[in-house]
Amino acid sequence: MPGATPVQFQNAEIDTPGRALTTNVNGVQRNANTTRVDGAVSVNVWLPHHAGYIQPAETVETVNIETNNFGADVGQAAGAAQMVVTKSGTNQFRGSGFWFYNGDSLNKNSYYNEQFDIPKTPLIMSPGIW
């Protein structure tokens, strides 16, 4: 997005397990950005540049980011106003499933190994994982 620095992770995974991202928008400090989830401000009071709650991707319906000319409903933002709208619930059972596969057939050899004709290191799975 024009005027925004590339995003970076906030602090360490230990103190911010949600792994909120940070960016400066239009030259304003990162704590001037505001994140709203379904209209409510989501902010960590002690670390105002951290979002208070990070929505799981499966619960998000739309995301809207404004960087200037904020409307009156946005407020409390100087850099970026990020609005997340979650999916509405229903009376039907729904869900999602994911499959993760990390096999040798999908992994490419590194650039430097290919330059020096070094074979790809085989993927060794720990017996405790499966």
So what's the pLDDT on residue 129? Answer: 52
In a domain, 107, yes or no: no
In a domain, 31, yes or no: yes
In a domain, 20, yes or no: yes
pLDDT at 54 over 80: no
Average pLDDT over residues 21-28: 82
Distance between CA atoms of 53 and 18, rounded to whole angstroms? Answer: 7
Range of the domain at 14: 8-86
- Domain total of the chain: 1
In a domain, 42, yes or no: yes
In this structure, what CATH number is given to the domain that contains residue 63?
A: 2.170.130.10
In a domain, 67, yes or no: yes
pLDDT at 16 over 70: no
In a domain, 104, yes or no: no
In a domain, 121, yes or no: no
So what's the pLDDT on residue 18? Answer: 61
pLDDT at 130 over 60: no
pLDDT at 28 over 80: yes
Q: What is the band of 25 on the pLDDT scale with cuts at 50, 70, 90?
A: confident
In a domain, 99, yes or no: no
So what's the pLDDT on residue 15? Answer: 59
So what's the pLDDT on residue 114? Answer: 84
In contact, 25 and 68? CB cutoff 8 Å: no
